[in-house]
Structure 1
Amino acid sequence: MIAIVLTAGEGTRIRPLSASRPKPMLPVADRPLAAHTVDAAIDAGADEIVLVVGYEGETVREYFGREYRSTPVSYAVQTEQAGTADAVDAAREHIDGPFVVLNGDNLYDPAAIDRLFAQCPAVCAAEVDAPQHYGVLSTTDGTVTDIVEKPDVPPTNLANAGAYAFPQAAAEWLEVPESERGEHEITDVLARVLENYAVTPVTLERWLDVGRPWELLEANEWKLADIDRRIAGSVSDAAHLEGAVVVEEGATVKPGAVIEGPALIRTGATVGPNAYVRGATMIGPDVSIGNGVEVKNSVISRGTSVSHLSYVGDSVLGRNVNVGAGTNVANLRHDDDDITFTVNGDRLSTGRRKFGVVAGDGVKTGINTSLTPGLKLSSGVTTAPGETVERDR
Structure 2
Amino acid sequence: MKGTATALHAARDFIDDDFILIYGDLFFDITNFSEIVETENAIAVVKMKDVSRYGEVVFEDGRLKGIREKTGFGGGFINAGIYHFTPSILDLVERTAESERGEYELTDAVQALNEQERVRVIPLNGYWNDIGYPWDYIDANMHVLERIGFAVGENTELWDSAVIRKPAVIGKNCEIKNCVVDRSIVGNDCVVGEFSIVKRSVVMSHSHVPHLNYVADSVIAEGCNLGAGTKIANLRFDNRNVKMSIKGERIDSGRRKLGAIVGYNVKTGINVSLYPGVKISSGEWIEAERLVKRDI
TM-score, length-scaled by structure 2: 0.92
Deviations 1:319-364 (A, max 9, x none): 2111111211111122211111111112222111111111111211
- What is aligned with 2:211? 308
Task: Compute the displacement of 1:100 (Å).
Answer: 0.9
Indicate the SS of the match to 1:130.
coil
Change (3 A) 1:354 1:153: closer
Q: Is the 8 A contact 1:310 1:326 kept in 2?
A: yes
Q: Is the 8 A contact 1:245 1:259 kept in 2?
A: no
- What is aligned with 1:148? 68
- What is aligned with 1:275? 179
Change (3 A) 1:121 1:380: same
Q: Is the 8 A contact 2:51 2:72 kept in 1?
A: no
Letter in 1 for 2:210: S
Task: Compute the displacement of 1:305 (Å).
Answer: 1.3
- What is aligned with 1:129? 49
Task: Compute the displacement of 1:369 (Å).
Answer: 1.4
Deviations 1:5-56 (A, max 9, x none): xxxxxxxxxxxxxxxxxxxxxxxxxxxxxxxxxxxxxxxxxxxxxxxxxxxx
Match of 1:298 among 201, 212, 216: 201
Q: Where in structure 1 are there 5+ consecutive unaligned residues?
A: 1-79, 228-243
**Following the alignment from structure 2 to structure 1, what is the Cα–Cα distance between the partners of residues 188 and 80?**
32
**Considering only aligned residues, what root-mean-square deviation do their CA atoms show, in Å?**
1.9
Count of residues paired in the alignment: 294
For the pair 1:201 / 2:121, whether they are aligned, the reply is yes
Task: Compute the displacement of 1:127 (Å).
Answer: 1.6
Q: Where in structure 2 are there 5+ consecutive unaligned residues?
A: none
Change (3 A) 1:153 1:339: closer
- What is aligned with 1:5? none
Match of 1:252 among 157, 165, 177: 157
**Following the alignment from structure 1 to structure 2, what is the Cα–Cα distance between the partners of residues 302 and 274?**
19
- What is aligned with 1:210? 131
The percentage of counterpart residues that share the same residue type is 37
For the pair 1:381 / 2:287, whether they are aligned, the reply is no
**Following the alignment from structure 2 to structure 1, what is the Cα–Cα distance between the partners of residues 66 and 291?**
52
For the pair 1:289 / 2:195, whether they are aligned, the reply is no
For the pair 1:348 / 2:251, whether they are aligned, the reply is yes
Change (3 A) 1:91 1:267: farther
Match of 2:82 among 160, 163, 185: 163
Q: How does 1:16-165 map to 2 (within 5 A)?
A: 82-152=2-72, 157-165=76-84
Indicate the SS of the match to 2:234.
coil
TM-score, length-scaled by structure 1: 0.71
Indicate the SS of the match to 1:225.
helix
